[in-house]
Amino acid sequence: MEVDKRLFRKMFPHLAEELENKRMSMPITSFRSDIETGERAASSKLFQGYNPDVIDFIRRCDDEDQAEEIIDYMERRGEITGKYAAKLRRQLKERGVRSFGPKKEDDYYLKKAGF
């Protein structure tokens, strides 16, 4: 179905402007004829190659004691520096465990990826 550009602009001025100026556009990088397969493929790449850091682990904690254990463990393993660990401990003591962000519940990454 073909629509005259002038008529389209008259009926949908804001949409026509967005299309012409390419605002709010998103490139299409692939196409799948099966919707479910396409959605799974698109969302499964959300965390592909992502490696959780100390903050991600702290956000899974229920209380300050658990968060302190995470900081100690990551520092012992050399995954965070002593200076960064001290900064995290200070934030934990002054602002609490939720100052690092809302709690990440079980299956957080699967839910975010749409599974």
Task: Render 77-106 in DSSP notation, one character per residue.
Answer: TTSS-HHHHHHHHHHHHHH-GGGG-S---T
* Between 8 and 65, the higher pLDDT residue: 65
> Does 85 score more than 70 pLDDT?
yes
Nearest-CA neighbor of 88 among 77, 99, 78?
99
The gap from C-alpha 14 to its chain's centroid, in whole angstroms, comes to 30
32 φ, ψ (degrees, to nearest 5):
-135, 135
Number of Cβ atoms within 10 Å of the Cβ of 76: 10
> Does 30 score more than 90 pLDDT?
no
* Between 35 and 70, the higher pLDDT residue: 70
Query: Tell me, what amino acid is at 22?
Result: K
The gap from C-alpha 67 to its chain's centroid, in whole angstroms, comes to 21
Per-chain mean pLDDT for the chain: 82
In this prediction, residues 20-26 reach a mean pLDDT of 73
**Residue 18 pLDDT class (50, 70, 90 cuts):** confident
